[in-house]
Structure 1
Amino acid sequence: MTTAHPTAQPPGQQPTGLIAALDIGGTKIAGALVDQHGTLLHRVQRPTFAHDPGEAVMLTVHRVIEELAEDPRWSEVRAVGIGCAGPVDITRGTVSPVNIAGWRDFPLVAQVAADPAVLGLAKEAGLPPEQGVPVRLAGDGVAMAAGEHWCGAARDSANAICLVVSTGVGAGLVLDGAVRPGPSGNAGHLGHLTVDFNGEPCTCGSRGCVEMLASGTAIARHALRSGWRPAARDAATDAAAVAESARQGDPPALAAYERAGQALAAGIAATATLLDLRLAVIGGGVAGAGDLLLAPLRRHLDVYGALSFVRPIEVRLTELGPNAGLIGAAALTTTAAR
């Protein structure tokens, strides 16, 4: 599959080959070849069996890499970027995604670096086999922020928060014109801000987190508890199905998206108040609901973002769509895009 996207060369960065990018979440594991201009050249994807043992999930990652390596341009790859659901630890190269139970302090960077197809790239790059090509890890929200800032909806903004609203809720920050992952790689992890002090326990160990109200999983769960049922007996019971019912005026479905928009607005307003932000970019699968999500989000943002310096914050949809994390993972391997 070959897909073109808006391109932008990071200042001072010269093309030096391709980047292999991985985007790992609770629903899917995607891989791509991306050039140094931010153009996605080839993409593959497999489902994440998030409840399987960690080794089985990693086997899917290896299969995605294997499929990428079948492309004749694989030999041109000079770095590997990984965006993964968090928390992550970029200093140790480990991940502990809330939605992938088998990965706790999982050595993802080491596992990817040891993949046979990745090991083989060292020879192509003229590197000692023991050195290998660089492998860089980021949280999925940070990766999305990097992609949108590089050549997407945040490319004209020096200060922004970019959200991935999907199986979970992640986010990344652009501050003073650069992506800021923080020392551990988890800066801006808005999904685990508490917005309901007495809310239900979250899988992260806290309670009332944004993710427990606004993720696709939470939207479907709340709609079902409120009496929503899909129109067809054999239809899916996910956030997309809830959105379809909401478009037809179903009250429990509409209420689930209202609740999600309110939670996101509370989290964005708190972050914007703390960091003096001007832009919020919304991506991830749930963003496909469009105004079903954005209309209540913007309305509640007017309430929670009451201070004068917060009110200018603009809400935009992703421009890179489902490929934002892949393009961002690639961006983070380039010096100028960090």
Structure 2
Amino acid sequence: MPNDLVAALDIGGTKIAGALVDSGGGLLARTQRPTPAQESAERLAATVDEVLGELTATPHWYRVGAVGIGSAGPVDTKAGTVSPVNIPAWRAHPLVSAVRDRAGGLPVALIGDGPAIAAAEHWQGAAKGHSDALCMVVSTGVGGGLILGGALHSGPTGNAGHIGHISVDMDGALCPCGSYGCVETVASGTNIARRALEAGWRPGPDQDATAAGVAAAARAGDPPARAAFERAARALAAAIAATAALVEVEIAVVGGGVARAGEVLFTPLRTELKRYATLPYIQGLALAPAATGTDAGLIGAGAAGWKLLETGTV
């Protein structure tokens, strides 16, 4: 049964994961390594080789027809390179050619991690059945991807939909991207925790000073914790409404670690969306939590591999 599987790689700042993906989005032969994000380019490349090596060693590898990669960005799909902000040693790293060589010359598709999440949610998740969608991940950073006209729209270099770097505060903080007041500077898990601490919140007995700890405190009614999530929701709502006004999406799907806060985030987010999504054609914008969870990157990378295998394009 050759060509009835694709290989998928999900490359992020904390983990490098791999799996084989069937035509229904099912994942086989999973493997994962921690990302040596602060180490050398050679060590990073060796980790990718280890993950891919485990996949090529499975008895199913002969069935694989293509490889899909979803990587933290920026990416350059034309050049086949990646320059992840949170992986300093990789700048214009030729990931596609390296993976192609390791995979025995199979065709390789590269997309950014935001578009990968959008592809996953459109194929198997909350955006399934929608022709036009914005899919987001709110975690250590804030990323996203777009489904337009029923297909993934990743743009000329593969970075379209990067909602985390829409500026929502003209006088806001400097963002690692070099701009100011980006959504990420307000709504990422790191910045939710920072804001809560600055406002007087203190971790509980478990000493969890992350956004998850802030979420637990917000559920218990802690005012600074609730305010930090409300502020994040306001920034997300402003960016979602701006995106919907620009490209007319019908649903916004929000996933990632911060979204696991549940109604601590989604209740104020719904309220703020009503304030910002005021144009008649976006007032009916739907909002939903992501459904593909921690598998989103692999499923989305698999979707890119399948599209390359079936059509010859990403």
Bin of the TM-score, shorter chain as denominator length: over 0.9
Distance 1:72 1:197 in 2: 55
CA drift at 1:218? 1.7
1:9 alignment partner in structure 2? none
Distance 1:31 1:221 in 2: 33
Aligned residues: 310
1:161 and 2:148 are equivalent in the alignment:
no
One of 157, 164, 170 as aligned partner of 1:184: 157
CA drift at 1:102? 1.9
Letter in 2 for 1:205: G
Q: Which runs of 4+ in 1 moved over 4 A?
A: none
Q: Kindly indicate whether the alpha-carbon contact (under 8 Å) linking 2:2 and 2:62 is maintained by their aligned counterparts in 1.
A: no
Distance 1:30 1:166 in 2: 17
2:95 alignment partner in structure 1? 108
Distance 2:204 2:15 in 1: 26
CA drift at 1:70? 4.0
- State the identity %: 56
SS in 2 for 1:256: helix
Distance 1:314 1:241 in 2: 28
CA 1:229/1:88 → structure 2, altered by over 3 Å: closer, same or farther?
A: same
Farther-moved stretch of structure 1 (328-337 vs 306-315):
328-337
CA 1:330/1:70 → structure 2, altered by over 3 Å: closer, same or farther?
A: same
SS in 1 for 2:229: helix
Q: Kindly indicate whether the alpha-carbon contact (under 8 Å) linking 2:6 and 2:306 is maintained by their aligned counterparts in 1.
A: no
Q: Kindly indicate whether the alpha-carbon contact (under 8 Å) linking 1:26 and 1:168 is maintained by their aligned counterparts in 2.
A: no
Q: Kindly indicate whether the alpha-carbon contact (under 8 Å) linking 1:146 and 1:331 is maintained by their aligned counterparts in 2.
A: yes
Distance 2:53 2:224 in 1: 43
Q: CA RMSD in A?
A: 1.9
Letter in 2 for 1:302: K
Distance 2:33 2:290 in 1: 22
Q: Kindly indicate whether the alpha-carbon contact (under 8 Å) linking 2:7 and 2:305 is maintained by their aligned counterparts in 1.
A: no
CA 1:230/1:60 → structure 2, altered by over 3 Å: closer, same or farther?
A: farther
2:187 alignment partner in structure 1? 214
CA drift at 1:162? 0.5
CA drift at 1:15? 8.4
Provide, for residues 81-129 of structure 1, a one-character-per-residue CA deviation record: whole Å limited to 9, x for no partner: 11111111100011122222222212121222233xx22xxxxxxxxxx
1:46 and 2:33 are equivalent in the alignment:
yes
One of 221, 224, 232 as aligned partner of 2:197: 224
1:240 and 2:227 are equivalent in the alignment:
no
Gaps spanning 5+ residues in structure 1: where? 1-13, 120-131
1:299 alignment partner in structure 2? 271
Letter in 2 for 1:239: A
SS in 2 for 1:114: helix
Q: Kindly indicate whether the alpha-carbon contact (under 8 Å) linking 1:173 and 1:181 is maintained by their aligned counterparts in 2.
A: yes
1:83 alignment partner in structure 2? 70
2:14 alignment partner in structure 1? 27
1:18 alignment partner in structure 2? 5
1:62 alignment partner in structure 2? 49
